[in-house]
Structure 1
Amino acid sequence: MSFRGLSRPNATSGMGVADHSKNTFMELKQKKVHRYVIFKVDEKKREVVVEKTGGPAESYDDFAASLPENDCRYAVFDYDFVTSENCQKSKIFFIAWLVSFSLFYM
């Protein structure tokens, strides 16, 4: 996963990625200082910004509780696990949190 080339708004979408967002992701990936990072789209700035980070001791349940009920977000979660060969491993998952809205007209 890489944010290379995304600091400026994309010609197609007009959306960019804030430098702080890229740096925070790299902290999660390389330094393991975050368990998860939740990103949101800042419509005024037209860029993806960090909304919240979770410390290394936080769980998936902590992460899930941090997601909004009525709004969409993007996130990365660093999942630690042990293989059947007893090796400690880690995988980073990209998550698109999408909330469907139902509108009823009478």
Structure 2
Amino acid sequence: MAVNDECKLKFLELKAKRNFRFIIFKIDEKIQQVKVDMLGQPDQSYEDFTAALPPNECRYAVFDFDFVTDENCQKSKIFFIAWSPDTSKVRSKMLYASSKDRFKRELDGIQVELQATDPSEMSFDIIKSRAI
């Protein structure tokens, strides 16, 4: 599975310049390549991000999560989310599962990984608990 250069470039922008809140990636099965599907603006929320994920199709995504620790420190962690809803096609789930690790290696700076098959598995509370 090839990775389009734009994926790495946009991820670097999210990580270094914080130009985006999230990036959703899609596998283009015709050309066997991971491409950028959607870019979330810095002012968008976690709810905006989860609403942008298609309910019946797999995606990879990164989300830049800002939070405040118990010691009142402002921090940020970059989450990698493998979205694979139960309602998506079996072939698609297999394709995303088999190429996930290779794709993730291309994105240097991922701090937390999450696998979700249902919106409840990536609720805001779960994201928050995994960040701290």
TM-score, normalization by structure 2: 0.64
- 2:55 matched to 1:69? yes
Paired residue secondary structure (2:87): coil
Amino acid at match of 1:86: N
Matched letter for residue 43 of structure 2: A
Count of residue pairs brought into register by the alignment: 89
Choose the corresponding residue for 1:81, options 67, 72, 78.
67
| Root mean square deviation of aligned Cα | 1.5
Quick check: 1:46 aligned with 2:32?
Answer: yes
Q: Distance in 1 between matches of 2:30 and 2:12?
A: 25
> In the aligned structure 1, how far is the partner of 2:87 from the partner of 2:24?
21
Match of 2:44 among 58, 61, 65: 58
C-alpha displacement at 1:28, in angstroms?
A: 0.6
Which residue of 26, 31, 42 corresponds with 2:12? 26
Deviation of 1:51 (Å): 0.3
Give the number of the structure whose alpha-carbon radius of gyration is greater. Answer: 1
Among all aligned residue pairs of Structure 1 and Structure 2, give the percentage whose two residues are the same amino acid. 60
Q: Distance in 1 between matches of 2:42 and 2:63?
A: 11
SS at the partner of 2:27? strand
Indicate the structure with greater helix content. 2
Q: 1:98 aligns with which of 43, 67, 84?
A: 84
Between the aligned partners of 1:84 and 1:99, the Cα distance in structure 2 is: 33
* Runs of 4+ off more than 4 Å: none
**How big is the shift at 1:99?**
1.4
Deviation at 1:86, TM superposition (A): 1.4
TM-score (norm 1): 0.80
Ranges in structure 1 where 5+ consecutive residues have no aligned partner: 1-14
Letter in 1 for 2:37: E
